[in-house]
Structure 1
Amino acid sequence: MTKVRTKDLIEKFGLELIAGEEGINRPITMSDISRPGLEIAGYFAYYPADRVQLLGKTEITFLETLSPTEKQYRMEKLCTDITPGIIISREMEVPQELIEAAERESVPLMRSPMKTTRLSSRITNFLESKLAPTTAVHGVLIDVYGIGVLITGKSGVGKSETALELVKRGHRLVADDCVEIRQEDQDTLIGNAPGLIEHLLEIRGLGIINVMTLFGAGAVRSYKRISLVMNLELWDQTKQYDRLGLDEDKMKIIDTDITKLTIPVRPGRNLAVIIEVAAMNFRLKRMGVNAAEQFTSRLTDVIDDVDHHED
């Protein structure tokens, strides 16, 4: 499925279409942008034809030094059947040879008033976020004290009810039931709600409630970076649960490992408070304070002390 086409760039950045209108549905598969300076100088051995081509002042002024034959030949080589588009920055004059080649090969030729470097970084950011790998996870995403907490667990374990309690305590709902996740960096996962269920929570017995209408705009967020996964599971007598917090479990989403805590659920345990404390504890660990490690080192000191006295 094509995520981005050239026409999306035209709409997003208000580009002026000069030629090659037939190609505006061409797919863009790379977020990298090419500045084809060497190609205009005649070296096409490594021309990345499948990228968006961006011509700035340097390239356009260099073009003017070429003979009409060279100009025509190089502009034709620039326009291939897989080139998603060519953009001229700073609203510069577009060479006639390029207009003709673009029209003939149906390569969209566009122009922007923006400066080259700024345009390049804005287009790259836009393409990176659009072309980022994505997945969907069954769970609830909440911003708790600035930490994106993804609550997972089997159906009926109480994820949405816990989310409702957290929203009531002043935290912000991002998504309930289905969380769309995209990997923006090697280790950055951003979660959001599908448009259809944004701001909605489904509570068994109550039905669907609109968190924004009930609790106000401060109770929701459109997206949030995921830092912590809390997996709720019904308390299992036979299972050994981590009591010190020394074992760090990980969950892999796309290519990123996220810290995962398993929280046993049984009547009388206030999950919202546990999740709040887990989020605060996670923040402390990020700042370099690890309570579990401090406890074990204190314990070791006490044991060493006792051994020492016995000797």
Structure 2
Amino acid sequence: MYEKGLKVTDFVSFFGLEVLNRGSDYETALLTITDVNRPGLQFHDFYDYFDPRRLQVIGKAEVTYLKSLTEEQRRKCFDDLFLYDIPALVISRGLDCFPECLESAVEHEKTILRTEETTVDFTSHAIEYLNRALAPCVTRHGVLLDIYGEGVMITGDSGVGKSETAIELIMRGHRLVADDAVELRRISNQLIGTAPEVIRHYIELRGIGVIDVRQLFGMRTVKTESQLDLIVHLEPWDQTKFYDRLGIEDHFTEIMDVKVPIVTIPVRPGRNLASIVEVAALNNRHRRYGYNAAQELARRVDQRADAGSRRQDD
């Protein structure tokens, strides 16, 4: 998880970029902006609203323009750009690096990278990757599973039966995403959950210990990440508490300003929690597509009551 930014070295490793020059901050520079910049306007000496924190990318259009300039003009373009504290300059399409660019980068100790991808492909891939890597992230205690295509996070106090319910769901063909610690990232207006790398695919069962779900049940039972669509909160049955029996109203909780549906399931001996969680996942999908069984039942009851009232009036 990246709290303050993504290291340029990690970005280079992920995209397999060629390093033409290592700047003085190559090992420490961070990418903190989810956007990139093509410095065409800057080469025309227009630096208003220029954000030096963005990754700089030049492609065929910029190179073609720079070729029309003299060596002195090109050197000035790069000198002016490298006066700013940019994280790196990326040359796309595998294009040759101008000698003036390399000389200026060496003098100003700036990083120059190169990719074989086209400018459009590289910028779109880079923005997508940065949006994920730099997304706001929180960790929640629970078990995240993919159930019928719904991302369901089971929460509750320690020992309430989260992991046991998860194992039963896994044996029914559903997939584990994360156990114990669920990392949630907000991407656009969605929450994407995954497991910390060190505990990925592992689940703890009291009395048995830690098991590797992927090794024990196969690759089909695990998933790297899932959107969070529903939270199922398990709690011990409380005789003094009123539990919703109709479910007409939807209940939500907010995580990083994103509203997530939540249902509370009381736990007591004899209840098949795995089946209840499966039904909750299917019911949540139906509601998201506009069908609410409780509201439909209420509508039918109201229609029957209205019809009976009319017959009495007649």
Q: TM-score, normalised by structure 2?
A: 0.94
Mapped partners of 1:285, 1:150: distance in 2: 17
Superposed counterparts of 1:109-258, under 5 Å: 109-186=112-189, 188-258=190-260
Q: Which moved more, 1:107-116 or 1:59-68?
A: 59-68
Verify the 8 A CA contact 1:75 1:97 in the aligned structure 2.
yes
Q: Distance in 2 between matches of 1:218 and 1:50?
A: 41
Distance in structure 1 (CA, Å) of the matches to 2:67 and 2:178: 54
1:21 and 1:108 in contact (8 A); partners too = yes
Letter in 1 for 2:241: K
**Kept in 2: contact 1:49–1:80 (CA 8 A):** no
Which residue among 254, 265, 268 is the counterpart of 2:267? Answer: 265
Contact 2:248/2:292 (CA < 8 Å) preserved in 1? no
User: 8 Å contact 1:166–1:272 — kept in the other structure?
Assistant: yes
Counterpart in 2 of 1:28? 31
Structure 1 residue 48 and structure 2 residue 47: aligned? no
Partner of 1:16: 18
CA shift at 1:294, angstroms? 0.8
- 2: CA distance, partners of 1:144 / 1:83: 44
Q: CA deviation at 1:44?
A: 1.4
SS in 2 for 1:23: coil
Is the 8 Å Cα contact of residues 79 and 107 (structure 1) preserved in structure 2? yes
Which has the higher mean CA deviation after the structures are superposed, 267-276 or 238-247? 238-247
Distance 1:7 1:198 in 2: 24
Q: Quick one: which amino acid aligns to residue 310 of structure 1? A: Q
- Following the alignment from structure 1 to structure 2, what is the Cα–Cα distance between the partners of residues 172 and 278? 16
Q: Distance in 1 between matches of 2:51 and 2:9?
A: 20
Give SS of 1:77's match.
helix
* Displacement after TM superposition at 1:219 (Å): 1.4
Cα separation, 2, equivalents of 1:80 and 1:50: 13
Shift of 1:77: 1.5
Match of 1:294 in 2: 296
Q: Distance in 2 between matches of 1:269 and 1:145?
A: 21
1:264-283 superposed matches below 5 A: 264-283=266-285
Please tell me the residue identity of whatever aligns with 1:28. Answer: L
Instruction: Choose the corresponding residue for 1:83, options 53, 68, 86.
Output: 86
- 1:124-183 deviations in Å (ceiling 9; x for gaps): 111111111111100011111111100001111111111111112111111111111111
Q: TM-score, normalised by structure 1?
A: 0.95
1:22 counterpart SS class = coil
| SS of equivalent to 2:6 | coil
Q: Which moved more, 1:99-108 or 1:267-276?
A: 99-108
Residue 226 of structure 1 and its aligned partner are, at CA, apart by: 1.0
- The whole-number CA distance in structure 2 between the counterparts of 1:79 and 1:58 is 20
| CA distance in structure 2 between the partners assigned to 1:44 and 1:196 by the alignment | 44
Query: CA RMSD of the aligned region, Å?
Result: 1.5
In structure 1, the partner of 2:105 is 102
Q: Identity over aligned residues, as a percent? A: 41
Please tell me whether residue 59 in structure 1 is matched to residue 62 in structure 2. Answer: yes
Kindly state the Cα deviation for residue 244 of structure 1 after the two structures are TM-superposed.
1.1
> Equivalents in 1 of 2:42, 2:203: separation in Å?
55
Deviations along 1:69-126, one digit per CA (max 9) or x if unpaired, are 3322221121135200001111112222221221122221111121110011111111
* Map of 2:96 onto structure 1: 93
Alpha-carbon distance in 1 for matches of 2:285, 2:103: 58
Q: Deviations over 1:5-49 (max 9, x none)?
A: 222222122222112442322111001000111111221122221
> Is the alpha carbon distance of 1:44 and 1:3 closer, same or farther for their aligned partners in structure 2, counting shifts above 3 Å?
closer
SS across alignment from 1:61: helix
Aligned length: 310
CA distance in 2, matches of 1:130, 1:174: 18
